[in-house]
Amino acid sequence: MNNLLVANSVSKNFGDFKALNNVSIEVPKGSIFGLLGPNGAGKTTLIRIINQITMPDTGNVLLDGEPLEAHHIQDIGYLPEERGLYKSMKVGEQVLYLAQLKGLSKVEAKKRLKFWFEKLEIGDWWNKKIQELSKGMAQKIQFVVTVLHQPKLLIFDEPFSGFDPINANLIKDQILQLREEGATVIFATHRMESVEELCDHIALIHKSNKILDGKLQDIKRQYKTNTFEVGLVANNDTQLTQIISEKFETAPANFKSLNNDLKLNIKLPPSESSNDLLSFLTSKAQVNHFNELVPSASDIFIQTVKNSKS
């Protein structure tokens, strides 16, 4: 049982609109799973189904091998994209209330709250009302509400929208730490930078269909083109370029460097290894820069979406 969450061919229609079409995902235990897709692709619908806010038309979802039931609510912590708090309620009361709704006892909730409030340095907000806090402060509290009941599965829908960089970093560190402690994280976003940093698995949803999923590394390997970025110092740039072009497929490259190098992208045929290329290059010129071009999540995202259109 290596998957904490499994969705089997989940479909959901809203009237004539198909929000999800036969989507299956598998979220391994202890992973940070990126649920990617453009706006309106169906990410939030899938998350709402996992949270039992909406019911799927067909298909089912298993948490730890069991079909979803009411008591699973306690095992899930959810930070929705559209999030807020009661404006005129005091911070402490509010968090206690929400924690109790998740099944914590009042005493237990208080104890854990103290811990978290100290950790995030927000202890003196207990008696403040939400409307007195800034947006970033309120978001810290929403984060505490999400993780307070120590859920097995954490779901964040666009968690960094609206956070300033300092808070975003703070939250990111907390997410990583929670993963260390055994939590599994689902991360819905269309911001690729955070995917690159955090996720080890991804699934890409586009127009209600899942079009790609797997380990991020595997996907990158699958999408890489065996292209290397090189910076060379030679007496005659034009001559060198010609020599290389005779043997390999080349294109001018663009990256920052200190020297006035000859910059090239060189694509290797599958038969040759990077060592072959490197020894060939060192025999012709001085190599200042040698780097394999790995496609970024963003590249893969854009390329897959484009491919699925055609």
Partner 1 sequence: MNHLSLIIKREYLTKVKNKSFIIMTILSPIIMIALIAVVAYLSQLNNNKERTISILDESGLVSSIFKNTEYTTYTILKDLPLEEAKHLVEEKEEYGLLYIASGTNINDIAKSIKFYSQDTPSLTIISSLESKLERKLTDLKLQQDGVDTDKIKASRTSIDIAQESYEGEKTSKIDNIVKLAFGGIAGYLLFMFIIIYGNMIMRSVIEEKTSRIIEIIISSVKPIQLMMGKIIGTSLAGITQFVVWIILGSVLMVVVSAIFGINMSEMQAPQQEMMQQAMVSQDMQMQAQQMIAAIYNLPLINMIIAFVLFFVGGYLLYSSLYAAIGAAVDNETDTQQFIMPILMPLILAVYVGIFTVIEDPHGTVSTIFSFIPLTSPVVMLMRIPFGVPLWQQLISLALLIGTFMFTVWFAAKIYRVGILMYGKKPSYKDIYKWLKY
Question: What is the binding site for partner 1 (CB under 8 A)?
Answer: 14-15, 48, 51-54, 70, 73, 76, 78-80, 82-89, 97-98, 100-102, 142, 145
> To which residue do tokens 């080349």 refer?
250
Cβ-based nearer residue to partner 1, 27 or 155 = 155
Q: Which is nearer to partner 1, 102 or 140 (CB)?
A: 102
Residue burial 15-49, b: 16+ Cβ < 10 Å; e: rest: eeebbbbebebbbeeebbbbbbbeeebbbbbbbbb
Q: Whole-number minimum distance, CB 39 to partner 1, in Å?
A: 14
CB of 133 to partner 1, least distance (A): 13
Contact at 8 Å (CB) between 301 and 205? no
Paired tokens of 94: 């509010």
Q: How far is the CB of 302 from partner 1 (least distance, A)?
A: 28
**CA 201 to the chain's CA centroid:** 8
* Residue among 52 and 296 whose Cβ is closer to partner 1: 52
- For the bound state, the minimum distance from the C-beta of residue 80 to partner 1, rounded and expressed in Å, comes to 4
C-beta of 142: minimal distance to partner 1 in Å? 7
As to burial, measured by CB atoms within 10 angstroms (0-12 exposed, 13-18 middle, 19+ buried), residue 91 is: buried
Closer by beta carbon to partner 1, 47 or else 300: 47
Q: With contact defined as beta carbons under 8 Å apart, do 229 and 255 qualify?
A: yes
* Min CB(38)–partner 1 separation in Å: 19
- Indicate the residue among 38 and 162 with the shorter CB distance to partner 1: 162
Helices first, then strands: H and E counts in the chain: 10, 14
| Length of the chain (residues) | 310
Q: Name which of 81 and 249 has its Cβ closer to partner 1.
A: 81
Q: Phi first, then psi: give them for residue 123, nearest 5 degrees.
A: -55, -35
